[in-house]
Amino acid sequence: MGLFDWITGQFIDVIAWTDDSHDTMVWRFPREGNEIKYGAKLIVREGQTAVFVNEGEIADILGPGTYELETGNLPVLTTMQHWDHGFKSPFKAEVYFLNMTRFTDLKWGTRNPITVRDPEFAMVRLRAFGSYEIRIEDPRTFMQEVVGTDGHFTLDEIQSQLANLIVSKLAVVLGQDRTPALDLAANYEAFGRFITEGIAPAFREYGLKLERILVENISLPEAVEKAIDARGSRAAAGNLDEHLKYRSAEALDKGGSLSDMAGMGVGFAMAQEMARGFGPSGQNAPVAPSDATPPPPPPPQQKLYYVSTNGDSEGPYPLEQLRQMVGQGRLTPGSYLWSEGFDGWKAAKAALPQLFETTTPPPPPPPQNS
């Protein structure tokens, strides 16, 4: 059955709209001859608004509820139709239903980079994209400024215009914000609120409310991103000296060629020179005069020995202390010694024969002449 039944000359007496398209913003109730029966029932569901247009002029706006179209419910239209004098015949009017719910996940994005001033880069070009949410806030303004006489108005008819509106205002909003470009990624939520507040007034001119703008990505020019990557790589390498040592050992373990190792050696030498040339504050460290005497090398490390007598292990001791132990009788030729490089415990006399060599004492001194 059609929405408007003219069988036996009777007018339909229920005006309502159900929608499952999720993208219809305004829908005009269809009728023949623009005639609606006086006393018909109007049903406006939650999330809807009904707008009566009489001879091209908005007459009445009704919110959710059930209405009988009569003098008490349509004061403005009643005055236009002169119902105050008992006019009861069908009247001519257009009924538009507006979807007042929130429209979500609408996309926006910059086609070309936006040049803005930046505290760190001085000037930088940014690209950005994300999504936004809107709803109809002022039915009268929306009908007058956007819809006109369109009987089936959908999001597609205005979405690109709204996205362009966001981008056109974005440059101004970015210019007012002093957040460094490198910190924007950590502040997408706060930045989204900031640009929502800055752009919302432009949407009100269309009778719309900008509920929120979500920022999904803000990207820098490719050259700047490469510079940031290089800077991050240098920071990740940490101590350059240690990093080159690690790379050299890694190349050796993987069977690197002599030319590879030579290159590593040159880099290692350069790293050492750089480490000597720069102090902790980043300034050049003082260089010693060329005729300065180089410091002596560190003394050789003494070899240490473990001693085992009667199954007990002591030590480690240096060689000089072993000599004292021989003199004290604590170390005998039958004792055992072990030191780094030995393939096992060895008898003390076999390991260190010099400890047990006896020296022939000198003869007594000659007598003195009286």
DSSP state string for 93-127: -EEEEEE-SPEEEEEEE-SS-EEEEETTTEEEEEE
Pick from 15, 18, 169: which is nearest to 94 by CA? 15
Q: In the predicted model, what is the mean pLDDT of the chain? A: 77
What DSSP element (H or E) covers 315? strand 312-317
Hey, is 140 helix, strand or coil?
A: helix
Distance CA 119, CA 179 (A): 8
Q: What is the mean pLDDT of residues 94-113?
A: 92
User: What pLDDT score does 157 carry?
Assistant: 92
- State the CB neighbour count (10 A cutoff) for residue 36: 23
Distance CA 250, CA 367 (A): 76
Q: Which residue has the higher pLDDT, 29 or 127?
A: 29
Distance CA 207, CA 142 (A): 5
Hey, is 286 helix, strand or coil?
A: coil
Hey, is 89 helix, strand or coil?
A: coil
Is the pLDDT at 133 greater than 90? The verdict is yes
Q: What is the mean pLDDT of residues 139-161?
A: 93
User: What pLDDT score does 26 carry?
Assistant: 96
User: CB–CB of 316/304 below 8 Å?
Assistant: yes
Q: Which of 3-7, 30-34, 43-47, 290-294 has the lowest mean pLDDT?
A: 3-7
User: What pLDDT score does 93 carry?
Assistant: 82
pLDDT tier at 5, thresholds 50, 70, 90: very low
| Degrees to nearest 5, angle at CA 301 with 295 and 307 | 165
pLDDT in tens, 8-34: 344 457 899 998 888 999 999 987 766
User: What pLDDT score does 24 carry?
Assistant: 95
- H-state helical runs in the chain: 75-81, 139-142, 156-176, 181-184, 188-204, 222-237, 240-253, 258-277, 319-328, 348-351
Handedness of CA 197, 202, 204, 209 (dihedral sign): negative
Q: What is the mean pLDDT of residues 125-144?
A: 92
Q: Which amino acid appears at position 148 of this protein? A: G
Q: What is the mean pLDDT of residues 74-95?
A: 64
Pick from 340, 300, 306: which is nearest to 325 by CA? 306
Is the pLDDT at 79 greater than 70? The verdict is no
- CA 234 vs CA 14, 150, 229: distances in Å: 74, 61, 9
Q: Which residue has the higher pLDDT, 64 or 349?
A: 64
- CA 30 vs CA 50, 94, 296, 306: distances in Å: 14, 8, 105, 108
Q: Which residue has the higher pLDDT, 179 or 168?
A: 168
Burial of 103 (0-12, 13-18, 19+ CB in 10 A): buried
Q: What is the mean pLDDT of residues 305-327?
A: 84
User: What pLDDT score does 3 carry?
Assistant: 43
pLDDT tier at 256, thresholds 50, 70, 90: low
pLDDT tier at 102, thresholds 50, 70, 90: very high
- State the CB neighbour count (10 A cutoff) for residue 244: 20
Q: What is the mean pLDDT of residues 137-145?
A: 95
Distance CA 248, CA 273 (A): 17
User: What pLDDT score does 101 carry?
Assistant: 95
pTM as predicted? 0.55
